[in-house]
Chains A and B, each alone.
Chain A
Amino acid sequence: DIQLTQSPSSLSAFVGDTVTISCRASQTIGTYLHWYQVKPGRAPKVLIYGASGFLREVPSRFIGRGSGTDFTLTISDLQPDDFATYYCQHTYRTPPWTFGQGTQVE
Chain B
Amino acid sequence: EVQLVESGGGLVQPGGSLTLSCDASGSSVRSNYMNWVRQAPGKGLEWLSVIYPNGDTFSADSVKGRFAISRLNSQNRVHLQMSRLRVDDTAVYFCTAMTAGRDHFYSLDVWGQGTTVTVSS
Answer whether A96 and B107 are a contact pair too, CB < 8 Å, given A38-B45, A43-B113, A89-B47: no
Considering the complex, give the chain B residue whose CB is closest to the CB of A95: B58
Closest A residue to B49 by beta carbon equals A95
Say yes or no: B114 contacts A34, CB within 8 Å.
Answer: no
- For the complex, give the distance between the alpha carbons of A79 and B100 in Å: 28
- Residues of B in contact with A, size category: 20 to 34
Task: Please give me the residue from chain A that is nearest to B47 by CB atom.
Answer: A97
Q: Is the CB of A49 within 8 A of B58?
A: no
Residue of A nearest to B100 (CB): A49
Number of A-B contacts (CB under 8 A): 75
Selected contact of B109 from candidates A31, A33, A46, A100, CB within 8 Å: A46
Within 8 A of B (CB), among A80-106: 85, 87, 89, 91, 94-102
B94 touches A99 (CB 8 A): no
- B45, B60, B113: the one contacting A96 at CB < 8 Å is B60
Chain B residues near A (Cβ < 8 Å): 35, 37, 39, 44-47, 50, 58-61, 94, 96, 98, 100, 104-109, 111-114
* A34-B107, A98-B47 known, 16 other contacts, Cβ within 8 Å: A43-B112, A43-B114, A44-B111, A49-B100, A49-B107, A50-B104, A50-B107, A53-B105, A87-B44, A89-B107, A89-B108, A95-B60, A96-B47, A96-B60, A96-B61, A99-B44
